[in-house]
Copies of this chain bind each other. A is one copy, B any other.
Amino acid sequence: MESWKKLGLAPSHAYLLMLVLDEPGVQPGYAAEELQLSPSTVTRLLEKLEEKKLVVRTTEGKLTNIYPTPKAKELYPQMKNCTREFQEKYQSLINEEEASRLVKSINRINDQLP
């Protein structure tokens, strides 16, 4: 998680921010599904990101859209670097086949859980 610290963002914040950068205007509910978080967790993450002036929320009716600020856009390349670094650092721990089996197992179990 070292890599993220330089950015001053916890990984969960960073992943949400990257989603917002990739899909400006994305809605909280969609983000929650995408990141496998509950909607309330996404709300909390957004509060923090908004405090840090990295996103803005515009609410119209019951829908809310989330947009990245220019400040966030500046961070984008660094964040991409972080994910790359992270991958490189950890993919050596486990080969691709094992990783794939692991993820499959976990997902299957998770899907079947009540």
Grouping DSSP codes into helix (H, G, I), strand (E, B) and loop, the A interface class, with mixed when no group exceeds half, is helix
Interface residues in A100-114 by Cβ distance below 8 A to B read 101-102, 105-106, 108-109, 112-113
* Complex CA distance for A28 and B108, rounded to whole angstroms: 35
Task: Tell me, yes or no, whether A98 is within 8 Å of chain B by CB.
Answer: yes
Q: Which residues of B contact A109 (CB under 8 A)?
A: 93-94
Oligomer: number of copies: 2
CA distance A93 to B105 in the complex (A): 10
A102 to B109, CA, bound (A): 11
Could you tell me which residues of chain A, from 57 to 114, have a CB within 8 Å of some CB in chain B?
Answer: 93-94, 98, 101-102, 105-106, 108-109, 112-113
Residue of B nearest to A89 (CB): B114
A-B contact pairs, 13 of them (CB 8 A): A93-B108, A93-B109, A93-B112, A93-B113, A94-B105, A94-B108, A94-B109, A98-B105, A101-B101, A101-B105, A102-B102, A102-B105, A102-B106
